[in-house]
Amino acid sequence: MRRAFELASKKASRLLIHTKLSTMPPMNKNPLIVDADMAAGLDVVGDRWVLLILRDAFLGRTRFEQFRQHTGASRTTLTRRLDALLQADVLCKQSYGKRFEYKLTKKGLGLFQASLLSWGWESTWTDVSPDVLPVSLTHKPCGHNLNPQAVCAHCKQTLQVGDVEWPQQNQELDQQFGTMQTFSKRRVRASAVTDSQDLSLAYVSDLIGDRWTLLLLISAFLGENRYDAFQKNLNIASNILSDRLNLLVDVTVFEKHMYQDKPPRYEYRLTQKGKSLYPLVMAIRQWVLAWLPNSTETLIHKKCAQPLNINVQCGHCHEQPKAKDVSFKNNS
């Protein structure tokens, strides 16, 4: 059972290793794709190890050795990520005896909806049965498996690609975006998985736990689909762009379609699997905008013409679950 899930996780085969902080080159900054607010948010959540630490925190793990055991991160990597989450006020540090626990702050708990959507996406799109996934979610008030759905809080309609009207950013906001600190962008093939390592969310974290992949998805949701457009809008190095596009094609989030044969040129179109990441990416963006002090951006839900506020509801009873309403069952 563990082997089956390990193979599904390795299909993405894009684990990140992070050894030190580096400064990325400034982007060309299409302001609809990434502005100063989104850039700051990606500093927090655009990292695979951070997402796995947050997964563990929502599962009730609070101690350094618990995080290390279940994420598989080295001590150095884990220390850097915990320090970054403390600095961002996503986790807080509490002493117990001579040691410390790391607990979610109110800001960290604000990522609960995105975490639920991550679990829901992974249970739908990995190549194994949901029964084989290490963790399953139950909505305690109705007693059914939680099938999280992202809906507009105003009209209650399910969020889909193309439903959102993006504002025209002003030039002043665009100019606020400069270089952005992030963890090393190198990727390596998946390493061996230990018996104690928790594989839940390993697959989805390999996709959205990378800043460039997340930005390519946002760009695709805005209608971009060609190599030159991605490179121009993100000012991404050609080798990194090719690598991330190949990843997204390999895991069937994008499909390649030739639109010119001499020389060959391709469009990268979202598959249904890729489109289903839209609510998760938008929930992350909503969290970014909610918790950054100077954010003024408002997205409009076209179907009801109201400011977009995403709620995540139970797919069975359609109630919005709180953290205390969800039980995490270990299937392993």
Percent composition of the chain: helix, strand, coil (DSSP 3-state, to 5): 40, 20, 35
**Whole-angstrom distance, CA of residue 298 vs CA of residue 146:** 29
* 307 vs 27: CA distance, rounded Å: 28
Nearest to 200 by CA among 147, 137, 138: 137
Whether residue 75 is predicted with pLDDT greater than 90 in this model: the reply is yes
The mean pLDDT value of the chain amounts to 77
Residue type, 281: V
CB atoms within 10 A of CB 4: 14
What digits encode the pLDDT tens for the residues 137-194? 889 999 998 889 999 999 999 999 888 887 654 333 333 333 334 444 444 334 433 4
Cross-strand pairs, 312: 150
Q: pTM for this structure?
A: 0.76
Residue at 26: amino acid letter:
P
Cα 263 from Cα 80, distance rounded (Å):
45
Q: What is the pLDDT of residues 188-229, one digit of tens each?
A: 334 433 444 555 566 677 777 788 888 899 889 888 999 999
More confident residue, 207 or 34: 207
Higher pLDDT, 131 or 139: 139
Are 316 and 309 in contact by the 8 Å Cβ rule? The answer is no
**Backbone dihedral angles phi then psi of residue 144, each to the nearest 5 degrees:** -105, 160
